[in-house]
Structure 1
């Protein structure tokens, strides 16, 4: 038990003792008063009786004098006939006392007014009085008043003889109801006090001023092994406890002297500890009793606190034990109150921060030890602790020398005995070394990540830069074959082509892996002909293997038919990699591509693909490494070389589509690669984008009102041209802030939002529109961006955008977006929207002359044009606007050959015309008109360029 609890218990006991003493004091006073009153009453009754007897004799001589005497007395005087027991005389006072008139009682039995329960007792009493000729008696009993109330009567009865010598009862009765009530209260108080003391869990003994025992309870006897018969309250025995129990104390003589001192000094002593010979521990209270400064006696109170003492000792030892453990564990403890004032600082904590305990106690922990930022953290933790919860957190502390220490704090609230939180205790563990190590590790990780990113970026940039001249080498090699080279030159060309093809494959793999790791590869799910794709791959590899003893076959599940929604290009690349590997390492036998329905779900169908071959196989100890980057698992000295990235790329592409890939192989027995991908079956036949353009069927969106937030002039005009053709009403915003301002004034059906814009970016503008009360707070917002990074798409959705459209986008993609957000009234079918979009097809004859069957080279040239060259045309806008004609001529001369390389022969002619116009001083309006026409046609045919590039990739 804690000191505070002991103190509160002591106070409670003191108050209990004081209450008992006060009650005893009152009881003693009342008893004395009652005794005095009874004695006075008895003397008065005797005196009155004597006087009445004398007066009766005198009244025989003078009735007038007799009546005057009777009426002068306040008590009731009456006579009762001993013959029939009836009232023969009642004094007039009876009316004031009981409410009856004299004539109402005369002739009535003497017990007429007595409560029925007392009548028998009273009758017996008077009969014995008459029988024994008792001269004078006193009796108390209750009677009924005329109004029905009850009062107590105390009466003195004398047996006298009348003039005729006959016996007669004369009584003097007084109303003693008040005295009875006081007596009843005193008895009740005495009973309660005696009961409390007797039932007390403490041993209590009360002695008077002469050391005679007044009261002793059962617990006292039990505690000291005494018999209650040893104590006679009416026999004063000095120092009874020590006469009988002195041997029970650990030091009898010392205790005897102490008891004598207490009796002599007569001062209150509470909670004094006393050790007993048998090992028990008592607490003793000595309370002297005074009344009006007169010593009346004293009270002894003993309480067995052995268990509490042992628990306290155990707690003390436990605290010492755990304090030692804490110190050895280098845990610093600190106690604070609810205001963060330090109440107690343990030794280890002081050592940790370089302070002494005296320097810390009384100080505000937050102000002394915490930085402003750390104070906010602790304040939040304090809120949690006030709810009675423990917390754990890391925080920096200031050492006395100014250095910073990082500590892990486990804090818990401290509660008093009533459950009220009065502060908290924190266990501090020094994390400084670990924190420093974390910082160093974080810095190292950051440097490593920066290095990795730089490496990836460098790899992507270099791969791209190498591919551009490599494409030229491959193209020129093909052209040299047409110049009728000699046999020696043909050998040289074969070596150049072989080396260039190998180098091109290496660079393509590196670029693909760099794109995957940089997060620039996204799954594009669109309807495609799965069975047609597999048959196409079969024909390609049959052509490649036609001069080798290898059979290429496709096993297709009969349930696979129609179109499926998925990424056709990604599946094509996966199968090309796996079939290409099988082709490389299979000298004879077969290569089989199998596709079957693995399982069907609510909306998806899982297709399992398998590529098996009868090639050289993979050693068992290397099977687990086939999908690792830069790992070559072919036998030593094998003629086929590579980067070791093909299967790693394949695995990444499969997992990007939620699939898994595995391999089974035995060396010399061939290999089997298996993977499964989920696709959604198209229930109704839909037209492809090319068919949409050809058939000229689109959704009606002409009633829509659209805001286009785009800062690039060329992109503005491209989107504007399409929207004008489709009859869409639109407004252009040149930056993000302008878009926000326009949204406050006009309601739109859709907002097309470029990401990279001045003033406010597309993200910032979207946040403003979504957060600020305006007409378009709930309007759909679709992002326009040239980036295909997944993190940018995630950011777009996070800030409140509803969709994402990657630039450059073909007209049908934009139209699909518009139809998606069109209202029911706007979604009506018309047939004129897409007419005229493709005014000129590509020059396929020229493409055939340039590339022939070399689809790999063609795909590379188209990719370079779309990803690199196309953006260079944007420079014409500023040059023509500023009329820098010489720069226009140089740019036109530089870019015109690229147009012919991708089949845009008519646009190449327009670029030649533009170059020629710059020879003399050109007309600015004519130049602008030619440029606008060129730009519109170039943007219109961009979807065809994309499609042609994809076709080359499929046939590659």
Structure 2
């Protein structure tokens, strides 16, 4: 093909393609145009549709908003639940009423919120609604709010159907708690009222305004013999009940007439008395029932007051009877009002006072009759009556003739029917003769008291005046034995000593009986060695009867091995009296002391003691008088005389301890005295008691100590100084209390023997002066030498600051024992045993410098405070004393004085127990003395530590 032909062909093809493209473009443009038009139409349609949708949505939102506002504006809860009981919707009001949010409800089952006990009932309610396809129902039930309180809900429930099936339930619920509570309270009140009326001890009938029965109780039916039960009467017309019951009344027509009148007048009345033919008496109350101004019915109450009426009649007759009796008795009645104005005076009172009743009525009793000095008594009693109190009192009344009488008045308030105090009544008994007798008895009692005081003073003086020279006589007789007398002289001395001992025994018996009769003997229980005590008694009498053909034996129960707790001093005195009595009436033979346990329980042992002799015995007819005071079996026919008090004292001492004593005897064969005492078993070591005769061995080592002897009697000075010289005891003599105080300031003594009754300054005053002032002897032991055995004098001695007392006459052994007990211990040589080394090691270890500092502080600062303890005791400042003791107690342990620390513990205990001040004084003095005795030891120890 040529090139030109190719070009033509290309051109033709181009033209054809161009023509075809043009046609296509046209078609395309046409289609595009159609498509554009369709697109515009679609766009327009879309815009219209969108607008419609927006309008519909706006309309829906507006409708939903109105619906929600409607739901939220309602104060009730609106909720939906499915057939399965699960909440699908709940309005927001639920949070206000129950406290739960909407989210806390939705998805939960309704039983989760219903109060227990009502869930089953509500489930059955919903099941019935679903099964019976009910459109709408109403029910009430309690639910538990979020805070736990109960809310009663009343709800109306409607069912929503879908294809003939209930798809959900919609409910409107509201809070009906207030109404429900009111209904419950109303029902409770009705129940209570009904129960109350039914249970009343009166017949009750309640009728409405048409006189139909609303309420009636069984007692009404019983009173009026109604055969029907109270339930059968409810609703019946009872307008003719009066006619029905009138035959039961004494006045039937009056009964009917009065009922009709009450019904017509509708005025409340109470206490109408109605008599029945059967003898019963009724009391009728009528109350018309109103609600506001509206009449609602009638209430009738009938009470059987027969017993009350009969009782009132009995009281009336009794009052008349006793009024007559009172008028005829020695009792005068007077009635006054609240202003003390006399409103009635009974006959006997008028005779008592000398006025007529007319002369007394209207007068002021407190001014017209009462003696002026007793007006305050009347005022006080008047106040008591105004408070409703009765009372008895004594005063003097002035009679018409001006003379006075004493009366005992029993006053009571007078009340009116409403219980208001309107006056008082006084019952007057004439005491004039009794008062005169009382005055005479008071004078006689004063005379007796004066005589008793004189007797007491006489005994005290006798004790001192006789015992003081007796002390010298007995003492000198002891000293004469040491002068190697001849046989004849020894015989004279024996007679002298025997006579002095007999006189001493007489005085002691008299004083012991005086103390017993005054009730001033006390039992002091403490641990003691019973076997040792019996053997000591045996030893004393073996020494006494030495050379006479009499054996003294002691027989002990094998079970008596340990210590017992009781009053060993009193037991010793009983045994000494009985054995002494046996020794006195036995010329030859034996005296046997027996002790055995008769019975025991967990804490108490009853021990029987027997003292039997082979002496002259007691006639059978005399056995009843052996324990009587001042009675002797054979006062004329036996050579041994006495006061006749020994056995009487013994019996009293046994009975004081809760024991019994008896005697068996045959004349010419001997006597047997048996007594039984209770003791407690004790494991502790016996505390040192008062020394028994013969307890002290004269051969015991006696510590040498410097003694101040304060004694004004020349014979006693000689006696004591001779004993001290014999025992190699240095002493200083002071003739009275003033000299004793002066000597105490000059030099230090180890013991002071202080007589009590002295000129210028007595022993009490001297002791107080020594204890109260700074001197070398402020805290050393002071022993009272007293010729008085009276308990008062011994207590005063202890309260004055004395440590112990020795009663005159005393034997050398007794004085020696006291010196041994109160002589200062030899502390320096025994320091290693006194100081608690283990305690010091535990406190200080190897720190000797610190230990030395503590010892120095104790000596310089603590010891002066310890020395203040007796002063606090004297001042009886127990609070300060307790604080001081508590403060000082641990300081003793800081210097190794553990024993004294324990004494402080004991002192603190007895302060809390409220012990007598005399006991505290002894403890305080003892601690001070022991502390000052330890000062040299502590100084030496401090020096070593330094």
Shorter-normalised TM range: 0.3 to 0.5
TM-score (norm 1): 0.43
TM-score (norm 2): 0.43
